[in-house]
A and B are shown apart, each in its own frame.
Chain A
Amino acid sequence: MYIIVIGGGKLGYYLTTSLLAEGHEVALLEKDRARGAELSEDLGESVAVRGDGCEASVLAEVGTGRADVFVAVTGDDEDNLVSCQIAKTRFQVPRTIARVNNPKHQALFARLGIDVTVSSTNILLSLIEQEIPRHQLVSLFSLKEAGVEIVEVEIPEHSPVAGKPLGDAGLQPDMHVSVILRNGEAISPSAETLLEPEDKVYALISEQKKDEFRKLLIGLAVPIR
């Protein structure tokens, strides 16, 4: 495959060397003169090219028209967006990939036609969340024979059910909320009980439904602040 990489920082450099090692044809574009010269010396002038990846003439020179993949990994989101859009619209590159430095830009880039967006912040965040979930479901007691557990879940601020009545939480018949602890006070819940952030919900649920229960009350994604 022919792959064009925009941005010769650490990420662009190691990406290029890895792609070359896998046998791909790669052109790496770097805007900065000094850094560009350094890269040319290291990777050769046929791979590392000094030039602005947002300039159509530069992209034409490196043969962007025949590129299979176009990857923009500079430290500036606006540069990554524009170079990918030009590659897509001017050169019809089938697959454009942009690094987003500000994770909030991920959705915007997708709406603006970038095929794939990569946010290292979001990747690390989700890895950390998987390792040590901030709002986890805690198994308090397991009734192994019956295949049920008593679990505790704290409602996070961004929970899909925060501010909604328990009856609208989408709970299944084998998910019984027994008690809600709010400011140290135990509430016997009904379908009309409104769930609030920081509520501690104690429920008797089927063992297999733990993940689903967690998703319903905590949600999947962690919003970025």
Chain B
Amino acid sequence: MKLVILGCGRVGSALARMMDEQGHDVTVVDRNADAFRRFLATGYNGRTIVGEGIDEAVLRSAGIEEADAFCATTEGDNRNIMASQMVKLMFKVPKVITRIYDPVRGSIYEDLGLETVCPTVMGANAIKAMLEA
């Protein structure tokens, strides 16, 4: 599949590497070029683009128009939310996944139709399960 990942942090870069290894067509967008050097210097053969994820032109240059999936994984919940809504509404990307740290915001946007991942809740649940084991 053609995948655009917004945010080259730990999660974004790990995901990019995994999907690239499996033979998918991956493009990572981050506003900071250093992020690519820091997290994607090795083991990644996909594309990288420097730019703001909520900029339509940047998304276009990342190939969003032909993308099968988009994942927003920047450290900013609101940036992820806005970029995801843009991508869904303007580019009709079939699969859009949004990372949202704030669980309340996460549930609000689930209700509004975004497919969200909340690492806060997932982490707390995992630790709770380990405590109870």
Contacts and interface: CB of A to CB of B under 8 A. Distances in A.
A103 B78 CA distance: 18
Name which of B55, B83, B89, B104 has the most chain A CB atoms within 10 A of its CB.
Answer: B104
B108 A78 contact: no
A78 B78 contact: yes
A54 B82 contact: no
Interface string B91-116: 00000000000101100100110000
A77 B81 CA distance: 11
B79 interface: yes
A81 B78 contact: yes
Nearest to A111: B89
Contacts of B83: 78
Interface in A68-108: 76-79, 81-82, 85-86, 89-90, 102, 104-105, 108
Given A111-B89, A112-B85, A86 B105 contact: yes
B112 A85 contact: yes
A57 interface: yes
B76 interface: yes
Interface residues of B, number: 20
Contact of B108 (A57, A86, A104, A108): A86
B104 A82 contact: no
B56 A78 contact: no
Nearest to A90: B108
A55 B104 contact: yes
B117 interface: no
B102 A55 contact: yes
A81 B84 CA distance: 12
Given A86-B105, A111-B89, A81 B82 contact: yes
B104 A56 contact: yes
B112 A89 contact: yes
Given A78-B78, A82-B82, A104-B56, A89 B111 contact: yes
Contacts of B79: 78
Interface of B: 54-56, 76-79, 81-83, 85-86, 89-90, 102, 104-105, 108, 111-112
Interface of A: 54-57, 76-79, 81-82, 85-86, 89-90, 102, 104-105, 108, 111-112
Given A56-B105, A78-B81, A102-B54, 18 more contacts: A54-B78, A54-B105, A56-B104, A56-B108, A77-B82, A78-B82, A79-B78, A81-B85, A82-B82, A82-B105, A86-B108, A89-B108, A89-B111, A90-B108, A108-B90, A111-B89, A112-B85, A112-B89
